[in-house]
Amino acid sequence: MTNLLDIKDLTVDYKTDDGISHVLNRVSLSIDKGETLGLVGETGAGKTTTALSIMRLLPRKTGFVKNGEIVFEDQDLLKLTEAEMRLIRGEKISMIFQDPMTSLNPVIKVGSQIRESLEIHRTDMSGAEMDKRVDEILEMVGIPASRKNEYPHQFSGGMKQRVVIAMALTCEPELLIADEPTTALDVTIQAQVLYLMNNLKKKLGTSMILITHDLGIVSQMCEKVAVMYAGTILEYGTAEDLFSGTEHHPYTVGLFGSIPDLKVSSKRLSPIDGLMPDPMNLPKGCVFHPRCPKCFEKCKTAEPAVSVVKGEHTIKCHLFEKGEKHE
């Protein structure tokens, strides 16, 4: 069986006034149908850039895919024309941005904004069918259809984000990319939105990429997890591999160490010492070596290979390469 999405060796640079930022460095990921992948890592790791690359929404003049492929349903999205990509965006792949106002137009009624995506993609539907679908999708995200003639500012933050989710789901995409969809929301609304997304996934069989730096959310929502750092996937595996296994990348250990008990919500994240490197000036060898408590000589000069721990569980660290001694 082929995967719904296969990203291979994706390498992305941003051109800035100060130089070239190497923001994604040979990122490979895959997602099966109906599966949710959690993409985790600290701010600046390259999570949003990965999402924007899939959507082909990198800033036109400054963001460049240098290498790699993004194969979705057997076609490389990077090879499509803009017109072909527009048909995929919204209909087959849609994205929920962190800030709902990125996606909502303040001067258009909420119902009309949802209807717009049907008008573009579902030319087979009659006007009456579209109206009915707008009502259904609003109800599905817990908003009374009677409010469809209101404007975004008449909605609370949580409701706006649910409208954005409704918009993203209108055309029942095969893949939903949610970029920190709940970060801006308070805890109660956050739980509601996540519950909703999980229900929709079950109901529609949508595959999801869920971007977050909250491992608690990942443990509740995701079958697969990729841990990203400085534009590199350092560890990848099933949620079980990541949450109950014993073999982990030292960076994952650091991240997980910050949430010793997922059930105790009062536990604060304790950040790992040091800072993520500047992508304009990445360290030699392993990108994590300057912060790694297990760093040894080789880590400073040689880039580690991706080692298979077991099944799909991989770790990119010299400690896991054959022939290296564990302490």
Among 2, 62, 270, 301, binds ligand ADP (CB under 6 A): 62
Part of the chain binding Mg ion (CB under 5 A), chosen from 39-47, 111-119, 241-249, 285-293: 39-47
Distance (Å, whole) CA 286 – CA 294: 12
**Amino acid code (one letter) for 195:** Y
49 binds Mg ion (CB under 5 A): no
**Site for Mg ion contains 113 (CB under 5 A):** no
Residue with tokens 């949450």: 243
Q: Does 21 bind ligand ADP (CB under 6 A)?
A: yes
Spatial distance between the Cα atoms of 16 and 59, rounded to a whole number of angstroms: 12
Coil, helix or strand for 251? helix
Measured in degrees and rounded to the nearest 5, phi and psi for residue 122 equal -115, 65
Contacting residue, 48, 94, 206, 232, with ligand ADP by CB under 6 A: 48
One of 48, 182, 190, 314 touching Mg ion (CB under 5 A) = 48
Residue whose CB is less far from Mg ion, 98 or 238: 98
**Closest CB to ligand ADP among 49 and 206?**
49
Q: How far is the CB of 266 from ligand ADP (least distance, A)?
A: 25
304 binds, among ligand ADP, Mg ion, none (CB under 5 to 8 A by kind): none
Does residue 186 contact residue 3 with C-beta atoms inside 8 Å? no
Measured distance CA(315)–CA(208) in Å, rounded: 22
Angstrom distance (rounded) from CA 322 to CA 315: 12
Binding site for ligand ADP (CB under 6 A): 14, 16, 21, 23, 41, 43-49, 59, 62, 279
